[in-house]
Amino acid sequence: MTAPSLLRRPAPAKVWSRLLLLGPAFVAAIAYVDPGNVAANLTAGANYGYLLVWVLVAANAMAVLVQYQSAKLGLATGLSLPEILGKRLGTKRRRLYWVQAEIVAGATDMAEVIGGAVALNLLFGLPLLAGGLIVGVASMMLLALQSQRGQRSFEYAILVLLGIIAVGFVSGLFVNPPDAGSALGGLLPRFEGTDTVLLAASMLGATVMPHAIYLHSALARDRHGFSENPAVRTRLIRATRVDVVGALLLAGVVNISMLLLAATSLRGIEGTDTIAGAHAAVTSALGPAIGVVFAIGLLASGLASTSVGCYAGATIMGGLLKVRIPLLTRRVITLIPALIVLGAGVEPTLALVLSQVLLSFGIPFALIPLIRLTGKREVMGIHTDSTALKIAGWTSVTLIVGLNIVLITLTVSGNS
């Protein structure tokens, strides 16, 4: 008779098969460690210390929920979010919807190219325009990998870059560890004036990226396919929970590490309101080696996130317009706005901040339909959200959309 303990222990082959199901969420998680996040997190830590640690914890919790819902939608229906919307919207509304989604995806992609260009400038002194071109070419190589070798190979490449990002932004904490008591104190929700409200809104409200919501539903579906067997779909959805929690936990650790690094080593130092200034301060405080690792992490962030952003844009166009153009052609087209900004001499960190504000406009268009669809039995069947999940989903929608409205309002009023 088999021992009960052995019944509870998965066979090695079964464990390995479960691990092979992981991956799509790690691609989507790149959106949460892009150069825009770097700028916001460093600013928060340098200016306010550990005050806003709680914001990143809350943001990560909501990101887990949202990305899980997106992946579940793709697995339960066999369709991506853009494809479902494309079937439900009339021609005119569908085209208008595509326009706003493409603008948001383009703004995000522009920020990511700029972040990579800044990293090359920090590492090698390259002009920003030349750096943008190099990032564009490198991202084409990544996308060619996806086109020629398939999604799994693309996932492997993104996982490597995600690991480099993690090392780049976590390593400084080993040289100058944060104060544990102060870091834990940052878990208490509070503000210190209007500026901290604005910064918290930019960190929390703009954390959930619209393009990651659209893309994850397609990534999960494309990787696993659609099964008519409800038991198979249930198994895949359960595996997706592990995928999402693992990926977003890693992204959350990286983001919190950025803030802790700035709070510990950059607090009160002049010039840390730009990425270049923060890099100079990190190098001065922690040494040239950590400065180089930091810049490499930023480069990996820009390269990975712009590749994923371009992939997302293709998913949006294919689902809403039923038009597909080669990924490499799309990469060339979407690279142009970033090169124009870099060539015009716009301050890179300012461009990153403004791109975060612009993408805030697109969040309700992605988030509200997602939560509505996953709560509909005629769409999801037996995989419809439970009551608790519906409450959590709509609570997250209210908070995220509300904070994005605050972000936009404060930004506009502050610049008027």
Judged by DSSP in three states, 297 sits in helix
How many Cα atoms within 13 Å fall on the side-chain side of residue 194? 7
pLDDT at residue 195 in the model: 84
DSSP summary character for residue 208: S
How many Cα atoms within 13 Å fall on the side-chain side of residue 225? 4
Q: Would you say residue 330 has pLDDT above 70?
A: yes
pLDDT at residue 8 in the model: 39
pLDDT at residue 365 in the model: 92
Extract the tokens encoding 386. Answer: 């439970």
Q: Would you say residue 393 has pLDDT above 90?
A: yes
The type of residue at 89 is: L
Q: What is the dihedral of CA 347, 29, 333, 340, to 10 degrees?
A: 0
Q: Would you say residue 16 has pLDDT above 70?
A: no
Q: Would you say residue 9 has pLDDT above 50?
A: no
pLDDT, tens only, 233-274: 999 999 999 999 999 999 999 999 999 999 999 988 887 878
pLDDT at residue 416 in the model: 56
Q: Do the Cβ atoms of 45 and 203 come closer than 8 Å?
A: no
Arithmetic mean of pLDDT, 397-401: 86
Extract the tokens encoding 235. Answer: 């198994």
pLDDT at residue 1 in the model: 39
Judged by DSSP in three states, 391 sits in helix
pLDDT at residue 13 in the model: 42
Arithmetic mean of pLDDT, 13-26: 60
Nearest Cα to Cα of residue 248 among 61, 44, 38: 61
End-to-end CA distance of the chain: 77
Arithmetic mean of pLDDT, 323-350: 87
Annotate 26-88 with DSSP letters as a single string.
Answer: HHHHGGGGSHHHHHHHHHHHHHHTTTTHHHHHHHHHHHHHHHHHHHHHHHHHSS-HHHHHHHH
pLDDT at residue 213 in the model: 94
- State the pLDDT confidence band at 4, using cuts at 50, 70 and 90: very low
Arithmetic mean of pLDDT, 357-365: 80
Query: Rounded to whole angstroms, how far apart are CA atoms 357 and 40?
Result: 12
pLDDT, tens only, 59-101: 899 999 999 999 999 999 999 999 999 999 999 999 999 999 9
pLDDT, tens only, 112-170: 899 999 999 999 999 999 999 999 999 999 888 888 888 888 888 999 999 999 999 99
- State the pLDDT confidence band at 6, using cuts at 50, 70 and 90: very low
CA-to-CA dists, residue 234 to 13, 73, 217, 239, 402, angstroms: 20, 12, 15, 9, 33
Q: How many CB atoms lie within 10 A of CB 398?
A: 10
Q: Average the pLDDT over each of 196-205, 311-320, 379-388 and give the range with the smallest value.
A: 196-205
Query: Rounded to whole angstroms, how far apart are CA atoms 219 and 213?
Result: 10
Nearest Cα to Cα of residue 49 among 272, 271, 260: 260
Burial class (CB in 10 A: 0-12, 13-18, 19+), 175: middle
Arithmetic mean of pLDDT, 189-201: 84
pLDDT at residue 384 in the model: 97
Arithmetic mean of pLDDT, 27-40: 88
Is-above-0.85 flag for pTM?
Answer: yes
Residue with tokens 């340098």: 46
pLDDT at residue 377 in the model: 96
pLDDT at residue 350 in the model: 78
pLDDT at residue 402 in the model: 82
Q: Which residues contact 158 (CB under 8 A, 6 or more apart)?
A: 26, 27, 30, 142, 304, 307, 308
- State the pLDDT confidence band at 21, using cuts at 50, 70 and 90: low
